């Protein structure tokens, strides 16, 4: 279980020191990014990475702080995406109740988090490696169900023609507004996870991850804490599902298939599960590989490439890119010392 082991530095101080200078630089860079990026880099890479980063974040929250590795995050996101398609507008002329966007989003995220809590309630009955098996079975079953069921999920073809709404005089479908929308949601979720990790609940959750037995003996309701973590992770995953369906404009069983389910784990593990920034790093690497795989190995063999990257990361650095950085730091420091001598 070394992947989800603890390194949780305490954040102390106030003002800029409390937020951390790297964070300020990062936010500035991301806010200014549209000035230099083309529409393609803005949406297909910027926005898409942020969405996948959010998905990874929902897993990181569970796996990093709670020690529960789930493969059903895409299912939770998919439930939100399907809810947006069914309750809002779509041009498949199946269902599509045409509710206002904000009610749709609230209901979609609510449904996703309830679904996530239910998945949690099913899987917390067992521990460790069993969680992966059960959530994978749930994700696969959901994929087959959406594929078979025409009454609710419109079967194999799913729903198309779902668009981000236009409000406050802004068409959120356009590249720049959509990028800022993704950035805003991602930043809020990131900050919330970072803050939540230091809260009483976050500390309790981490303690449960490290020693559930002792926490139970101390009188904590371990199951309730875990299920609440699933609920929170469902909110993040649900938000990313809403953004994902607005980004793609469509949702089908392929969106919630086993491939994407595994990709969420790949993104989170490649980035690193120790810090909320990890999944976003992983998402950038994942999306860049996906976009430029066509030049490296041809578009057809993208899965081989990402699978090999994943294998190498798991073998070489269990903590992902973050772990590589952590390991490189002392070496770099030593080198500078040596050069001074």
Partner 1 sequence: MSVSDGSVTRAGITRAGGLTWRQSWLLVALLAIAVLAWMALAIWPAWLNHILLSKKAFVSAILNGLTLAGLYFIVASGFTLVFGLMRNVNLAHGSLYLLGAYIGYEVATRTGYWLIGVAAGFLVLAVVGVAMQVLVFRRLEGDDLRQTLVTLGISIVAADLMLAVWGGTTYQISPPLWLEGAVKTPFLLAVRSNGAAVYLPYPFFRLVVLAIAIVIGLGLWLMLNRTRIGMMIRSGVDDSAMLSASGVNVHAVFAVVFAVGAGLAGFAGVIGGSVLSVAPGEDIRYLLASLVVVIVGGMGSITGAAIGALLIGLAEQISLIYFPTYGIVLTFVIMVATLAVRPQGIMGKVR
Residues that bind partner 1 (CB under 8 A): 1-4, 69, 122, 125-126, 128-130, 132-134, 136-138, 140-141, 144-145, 148-151, 258-259, 262, 265-266, 269, 300-304, 306-308, 310-311, 314-315, 318
Residue 167 phi, psi (nearest 5): -150, 165
Residue (of 4, 135, 125, 8) closest to 67 by Cα position: 4
Residue 113 falls in which region: left (phi positive, over 0), alpha (psi -120 to 50) or beta: alpha
Q: How far is the CB of 314 from partner 1 (least distance, A)?
A: 5
The answer to whether the CB of 237 falls within 8 A of the CB of 58 is yes
- 167: which strand partners? 170
Q: How far is the CB of 236 from partner 1 (least distance, A)?
A: 22
Q: Which is nearer to partner 1, 185 or 266 (CB)?
A: 266
Q: Which is nearer to partner 1, 189 or 262 (CB)?
A: 262
Q: How far is the CB of 56 from partner 1 (least distance, A)?
A: 14
Q: Which is nearer to partner 1, 142 or 178 (CB)?
A: 142
253-262 burial code (b ≥16 CB/10 A, e <16): bebbbeebbb
Q: How far is the CB of 287 from partner 1 (least distance, A)?
A: 17
Cα angle 101, 106, 111; round to 5? 125
Q: Which is nearer to partner 1, 4 or 242 (CB)?
A: 4
Burial of 228 (0-12, 13-18, 19+ CB in 10 A): middle
Q: How many CA atoms lie within 13 A of 331 on its CB side?
A: 5
Q: How far is the CB of 338 from partner 1 (least distance, A)?
A: 32
The answer to whether the CB of 226 falls within 8 A of the CB of 121 is no
In the structure encoding, which two tokens stand for residue 167, read together? 């409000």
Q: How far is the CB of 313 from partner 1 (least distance, A)?
A: 9
Q: Which is nearer to partner 1, 40 or 145 (CB)?
A: 145
Q: How far is the CB of 137 from partner 1 (least distance, A)?
A: 5
The answer to whether the CB of 114 falls within 8 A of the CB of 234 is yes
Q: Which is nearer to partner 1, 26 or 314 (CB)?
A: 314
Give the Cα separation of 201 and 182 in Å (integer): 27
Q: Which is nearer to partner 1, 91 or 148 (CB)?
A: 148
Q: Which is nearer to partner 1, 47 or 67 (CB)?
A: 67
In the structure encoding, which two tokens stand for residue 152, read together? 């609710």
List C-alpha distances in Å: 123 to 3, 20, 113, 130.
20, 36, 15, 8
Q: How far is the CB of 47 from partner 1 (least distance, A)?
A: 25
């Amino acid at each position: 279980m070394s992947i989800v082991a603890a390194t949780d530095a305490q954040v102390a101080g106030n003002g800029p020191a409390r937020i951390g200078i790297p964070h300020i630089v990062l936010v500035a860079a991301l806010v200014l990014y549209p000035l230099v990026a083309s529409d393609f880099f803005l949406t297909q890479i910027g926005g898409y990475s942020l969405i996948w980063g959010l998905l990874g974040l929902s897993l990181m929250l569970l796996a990093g702080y709670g020690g529960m590795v789930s493969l059903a995050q895409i299912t939770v996101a998919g439930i939100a995406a399907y809810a947006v398609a069914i309750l809002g507008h779509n041009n498949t002329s199946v269902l599509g109740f045409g509710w206002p966007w904000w009610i749709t989003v609230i209901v979609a995220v609510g449904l996703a988090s309830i679904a996530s809590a239910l998945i949690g309630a099913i899987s917390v009955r067992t521990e460790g490696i069993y969680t992966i098996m059960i959530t994978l079975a749930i994700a696969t079953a959901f994929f087959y169900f959406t594929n078979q069921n025409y009454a609710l999920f419109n079967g194999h073809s799913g729903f198309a023609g779902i668009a981000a709404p236009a409000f406050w005089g802004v068409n959120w479908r356009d590249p720049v507004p959509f990028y800022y929308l993704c950035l805003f949601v991602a930043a809020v979720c990131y900050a919330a996870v970072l803050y939540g990790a230091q809260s009483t609940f976050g500390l309790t959750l981490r303690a449960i991850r490290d020693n559930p037995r002792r926490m139970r003996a101390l009188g904590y309701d371990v199951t309730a804490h875990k299920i609440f973590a699933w609920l929170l992770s469902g909110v993040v995953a649900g938000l990313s599902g809403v953004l994902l369906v607005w980004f793609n404009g469509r949702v089908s069983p392929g969106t919630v298939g086993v491939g994407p389910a595994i990709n969420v784990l790949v993104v989170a593990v490649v980035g690193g599960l120790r810090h909320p920034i990890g999944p976003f790093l992983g998402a950038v690497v994942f999306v860049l590989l996906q976009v430029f795989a066509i030049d490296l190995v041809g578009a057809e063999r993208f899965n081989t490439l990402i699978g090999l990257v994943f294998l190498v990361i798991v073998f070489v650095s269990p903590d992902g890119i973050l772990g590589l950085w952590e390991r490189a730091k002392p070496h770099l420091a030593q080198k500078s010392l040596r050069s001074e001598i």
